[in-house]
Structure 1
Amino acid sequence: MFPPSFSHEAEVISYIPFSDGVDDGSWPMDQEERARRYEANLRSLSSVVTRLAAAGRPVTCMVCTFSSPVVGEVAREHRLTFAVYWIQPATVLAACYHYFHGHDEVLTEHANDPAYEVTLPGLRPLRIQDMPTTIVPSKTTLDNPLSAIVLRALRLLFEQMDEEVKPVVLVNTFDALESVALAALQPYMDVFAVGPAVPHDDKNESEEATAAQIHLFEHDAKPYMEWLDAQEERSVVYLSFGSLLSYTKRQAEEISHGLQSYGKPYLWVVRKEGRAEEVDLCLSEATADGGKGMVVEWCDQQRVLSHPAVGCFVTHCGWKSTLEAVVHGVPMVATPSWSDQTMNACLVEEWEVGVRADRDAEGALTREELVRCLELLMDGNPKAEHIRANVDNLQNRA
Structure 2
Amino acid sequence: MATRAHCLVLALPAQGHINPILQFSKLLERQGVRITLVTTRFYYNSLKTLPPSIALETISDGFDNGGLKEAGCFKAYIERFWQVGPLTFSELLEKLGGSKDDDDHVDCVVYDSFLSWAPEVAKRFGIVVAAYLTQNMVVNSIYYHVHLGKLQVPLKEDEFSFPAMPKLYLEDMPSFFFGEDSTFLDFEVSQFSSIHKADWILCNTFYELEKEIVDWIVKVWPQFKTIGPNIPSMFLDKQWKDDQDYGATEFKGEECMEWLDDKPTGSVVYVSFGSVASFGDEQMEEIACCLRECSSYFLWVVRASEETKLPKDFEKKTEKGLVVTWCSQLKVLAHEAVGCFVTHCGWNSTLETLCLGVPTVAIPYWSDQSINAKLLSEVWKIGTRALVDERKVVQRETLKHCIKEIMNGSKEMKNNAIQWRTSAIRAFTEGGSSYENVKEFVNNLINSSVHS
What is the TM-score normalised by the length of structure 1? 0.84
CA-to-aligned-CA distance 1:292-339 (integer Å, 9 cap, x gap):
111000101111000000000000000111111111110000111111
Quick one: structure 1 residues 60 and 372, their matched pair in 2 at CA, closer, same or farther if it must change by over 3 Å? same
Question: Aligned partner of 2:185: which letter?
Answer: L
Q: Alpha-carbon deviation of 1:214?
A: 4.4
2:222 equivalent to 1:196: no
Quick one: structure 1 residues 208 and 230, their matched pair in 2 at CA, closer, same or farther if it must change by over 3 Å? farther
CA-to-aligned-CA distance 1:333-392 (integer Å, 9 cap, x gap):
011111111111111021111111122333322211111101111112xxx111111111
Provide the secondary structure at the position in 1 that maps to 2:229: coil
Provide the secondary structure at the position in 2 that maps to 1:59: coil
Question: Aligned partner of 1:343: which letter?
Answer: I
Equivalent of 2:56, from 5, 15, 25? 15
Equivalent of 1:47, from 91, 96, 104? 91
Provide the secondary structure at the position in 1 that maps to 2:282: helix
1:320 corresponds to: 348
Quick one: structure 1 residues 59 and 14, their matched pair in 2 at CA, closer, same or farther if it must change by over 3 Å? same
2:431 corresponds to: none
- Equivalent residues of 1:123, 1:184 under 8 A apart: no
- Equivalent residues of 1:66, 1:154 under 8 A apart: no
Question: Aligned partner of 1:329: which letter?
Answer: G
CA-to-aligned-CA distance 1:159-218 (integer Å, 9 cap, x gap):
2124x3x7631111111111111112112212211011111226999x999699543323
- Equivalent residues of 1:172, 1:197 under 8 A apart: yes
CA-to-aligned-CA distance 1:127-185 (integer Å, 9 cap, x gap):
22212223x22xxxx25x6xx433233333212124x3x76311111111111111121
2:421 equivalent to 1:395: yes
Quick one: structure 1 residues 167 and 359, their matched pair in 2 at CA, closer, same or farther if it must change by over 3 Å? farther
1:358 corresponds to: 387
- Equivalent residues of 2:163, 2:216 under 8 A apart: yes
Provide the secondary structure at the position in 2 that maps to 1:170: strand
- Equivalent residues of 1:49, 1:59 under 8 A apart: yes
How far apart in 2 are the matches of 1:347 and 1:63? 28
Task: State which drifts further: 257-266 or 122-131.
Answer: 122-131
2:194 corresponds to: 160
Q: Alpha-carbon deviation of 1:124?
A: 2.9
Count of residue correspondences: 370
2:168 corresponds to: 126
Question: Aligned partner of 2:370: which letter?
Answer: T
Equivalent of 1:376, from 405, 413, 419? 405
Provide the secondary structure at the position in 2 that maps to 1:15: strand
1:225 corresponds to: 257
2:449 corresponds to: none
Equivalent of 1:62, from 109, 117, 133? 109
Alignment of 1:266-345 (within 5 A): 266-273=298-305, 275=306, 277=308, 279-282=309-312, 285-287=314-316, 290-345=318-373
RMSD: 3.0
Task: State which drifts further: 152-161 or 182-191.
Answer: 152-161
- Equivalent residues of 1:66, 1:153 under 8 A apart: no
The one of the two structures with greater contact order (alpha-carbon pairs below 8 A, sep at least 6) is 2
- Equivalent residues of 1:69, 1:153 under 8 A apart: no
How far apart in 1 are the matches of 2:258 and 2:50? 33
How far apart in 2 are the matches of 1:329 and 1:79? 43
1:113 corresponds to: none
1:257 corresponds to: 289
CA-to-aligned-CA distance 1:38-90 (integer Å, 9 cap, x gap):
22111100010111013733222222223322212312332322221111111
